[in-house]
Every structure is written in C-alpha cells, then in structure tokens.
Amino acid sequence: MTMMSSEPEQAARPPIKDNLMSLQSHILSEEARHPGATGELSWILSAISLAGKTIANKVRRARIEDVLGEHGDLNVQGEQQQKLDVIANEIIMRCLGDRANIAVLASEEDEEPTILRTGSEGGKYCVLFDPLDGSSNLSFGVGVGTIFTILRNDPNVPDVQQTLQQPGTEQVAAGYILYGSSTVFVLTTGNGVDLFVLDQSIGSFVLVQRNVRIPEANRVYSINEAYSDHFPGGFKQYLQWAHENGYSSRYIGSMVADVHRTLLQGGVFLYPPTKKHPEGKLRLMYEAFPMAMIVEHAGGKAFADGKRLLDVVPDNLHQRTSVIMGSPEEVDRVEQHLHGG
C-alpha cells in the first residue's frame, strides 16, 4: 500500500479571534465530563436556546410588529396578559413540545401543566417557566426575561401536580434569558453559573463568562420602597439602617433585570410581603426557585420567611413567595434585622 506523500507545508493559519464556544458546544463539553450523561439535558437546553433567540427577535421588533400592549385576557394570576406574554408562551411550548424526553411543561401563563408523555413513554424531565417576566415594562424598553427550571420526572408519581411539587434543591438546571441591551443567557446545571451572550452575527449564544461569582457584599439594595409602609417591621428597620449606612437603591421592577444586576455587581434583591401580596408577589416554582439556584451556585444566598428558599417544599404550582437574595453578606444583614440571626 503506497503511503500518501506528506501533506504540503501548511500555510500558517490566519489567527481568528471569534468566540466560537457556543451554548451548545459548552453544554456538550460539560456533559462529556459526566460519564453517565445522556445528552438529554442538552437537548432540552438547545430548545430553550432556540426559544430565547426567537423571543429576543419578537421583543426587539415588538413596536414595529405592533405586538406591544395588553392581550385582553387575565392570566391565572389575575394579571393583565401582555400580547408578548402569549406569544412568548406559544414559542416556548412549540420549541419544547417536540422534545421527546419532556414529560410535563408548566407555564406561569397556563393554569394547568401540559402533560406531553408519561415517564414510561420517555418523559424524563419537567420544564417550568415564566415565558416573559416583567412584560408590563415592555412598552418602555426595559429589560424583560424568560425564567426556566428543569426538574426530573418521577415515573412512580402518577399525579402531575405532585411530581412538580419538589423542593428547590431538586432542580436539575435553572436559568434565565434577559432581553436587554444585549440578550444574555445565564445558566447553571449544578456546577457553577455560566453567562452567554447572543452574537446576532452568527445567531448563537456564545460563552463570555465561566463560573460567575457574586460579590461577597455591595451596598446596594433593590426593593419597591413604595410599599414600605406595609412591610413587616424587620424590613423597615433594615431600610432605615441601610439609609444610614451609605447604601444606594436600584429597582427596575423587572425581576430578571434586577437579579442579573445583583448577580454581577452584588447587593441584595428583596420582595417582602406586602398589603396586596401578604405571602409575597413572586412565584415560587418558576421565578424564585430558579433564581435562587443561580444565586447560590454563584456563591450568594436566597431566603424566604427566615429559611433557605431552596428548602421550601411547594404546595401548588402557582404559589407565591417573598424573596431575599444576593450577596451573602448583604442577605445576612437583612436576616439579622428580620430575625436577629
């Protein structure tokens, strides 16, 4: 057998500086680190990535395509649905609906979960999401976002509601996509927090920061002080202390934007019990839990009613909660004022 002559001297390749570590490549390389990984999780995350790119395009073009404003119906929370809430929900349901390893999809916009298949039919995971959190801010160009969490489906639990009611510690993966000045995908699969940005020139989310760590402290609190007259006493004492100790206030009114800023610059995000929402306003399963997993895996803390938020066992899919999350030292300071901890 004649050997091929050696390759002609290869011309030096011109250096390219393009960031080619896409979300997909990163997930697969992470999966390769886990011998038991089957690639099924990355198949779901790639569907979420596709949905995120599609929603980002809709958000950017909302005013041009005249899809801003109210849809005209109330959602299960009794809140005015925005047109883009419905559109984003539909996009996610379609992108995830054909992934054969998903058993259940549960959305903030739908009272009941959507059952795609049982465990015995291959339904291995449940995906819960808020398709477009903060959408009431859309008309003003404020950052809004998709929040998602992935749970294992327990084939031995026939009741879907019961399957979904897992404590936050059981989340397999969690993340959010912020549609802001850039489109940012923040993800944890339980091994640190990674940050991707949508490079529109190639249509991919590319890895820009690995293992994001929240600053230990920062004198910034994020809370809607308009409700402070009805906050429980400890919150009022904390705010008084913060005013006297050089804190600044940053509040956008869109959880994904407020938590993303807190994750990167430090500080504390709070949504206490209010007169209108005595149990707190934010949804436990598909807002607070995923954000708490992200914050904890970045080295932060997340509490509700004096205990670790991820330890809460849900009673129902759409239940609400108060939230205190952010830099560990800042969360500790709030807890000290609330519970003398």
From 88-96, 183-191, 197-205, 252-260, span contacting ligand P6P (CB under 6 A)? 252-260
* Candidate residues 281, 301, 320, 337; the one interacting with ligand P6P per rule CB under 6 A: 281
**Contacts by residues 224-228 (CB-CB < 8 Å, ≥ 24 positions apart):** 224/251, 224/253, 224/271, 225/249, 225/251, 227/272, 227/274, 227/275, 227/276
In terms of CB distance, is 258 or 330 closer to ligand P6P? 258
| Cα 93 to Cα 88: distance, rounded to the nearest angstrom | 9
Rounded distance, CA 303 to CA 306, Å?
A: 6
Q: Least CB distance from residue 119 to ligand P6P, whole Å? A: 32
User: Which residues, numbered 75-104, are part of the site for ligand P6P (CB under 6 A)?
Assistant: none
Sign of the torsion formed by the C-alpha atoms of 107, 283, 175 and 307: negative
Nearer to ligand P6P, 133 or 335 (CB): 133
* Residue 133 found at the interface with ligand P6P (CB under 6 A): yes
**In terms of CB distance, is 77 or 101 closer to ligand P6P?**
77
Task: Give the shortest CB-179-to-ligand P6P separation in angstroms.
Answer: 13
Nearer to ligand P6P, 133 or 194 (CB): 133
| Closer by beta carbon to ligand P6P, 23 or else 88 | 88
As measured in angstroms, the least distance from the Cβ of 151 to ligand P6P is 21
Q: Which stretch binds ligand P6P (CB under 6 A): 29-37, 83-91, 117-125, 130-138?
A: 130-138
Query: Is the distance from CB of 263 to CB of 214 less than 8 angstroms?
Result: yes
Q: To the nearest whole angstrom, how small is the minimum distance from the Cβ of residue 258 to ligand P6P?
A: 6
Q: What is the sign, positive or negative, of the torsion defined by CA atoms of 89, 94, 95, 99?
A: positive
> Residue 39 CB, nearest distance to ligand P6P (Å)?
33
Chosen residue from 92, 132, 255, 288 binding ligand P6P by CB under 6 A: 255
What's the number of CA atoms in the CB half-sphere (13 Å) around residue 122? 7
Asked whether position 296 contacts ligand P6P by CB under 6 A, the answer is: no
Indicate if the alpha-carbon torsion angle 163, 167, 172, 174 is positive or negative: positive
**Which one of residues 24, 101, 136, 139 is an interface residue with ligand P6P (CB under 6 A)?**
136
Nearest to 182 by CA among 147, 143, 133, 210: 143
Q: Which residue of 134, 175, 272, 328 would you call a contact of ligand P6P, by CB under 6 A?
A: 134
Cα angle 99, 179, 57; round to 5: 65
Instruction: Decide whether 123 or 300 has the Cβ nearer to ligand P6P.
Output: 300
User: Residue 114 or 228: which CB sits closer to ligand P6P?
Assistant: 228
Return the closest-CA partner of residue 267 out of 337, 335, 326.
326
Residue 267 to residue 7: CA distance in whole angstroms: 58
Q: Which of 70, 177, 71 is nearest to 129 (CA)?
A: 177
164 binds ligand P6P (CB under 6 A): no
For the record, the structure tokens of 68 come out as: 């801003």
Question: Among 97, 190, 253, 341, which residue sits at the site for ligand P6P (rule: CB under 6 A)?
Answer: 253
Interatomic CA distance for residues 287 and 317, integer angstroms: 11
Q: Which residues in the 187-246 window bind ligand P6P by CB under 6 A?
A: 224
Tokens of 101: 């390893």
Tell me which residues touch ligand P6P (CB under 6 A).
133-134, 136, 224, 253-255, 258, 281
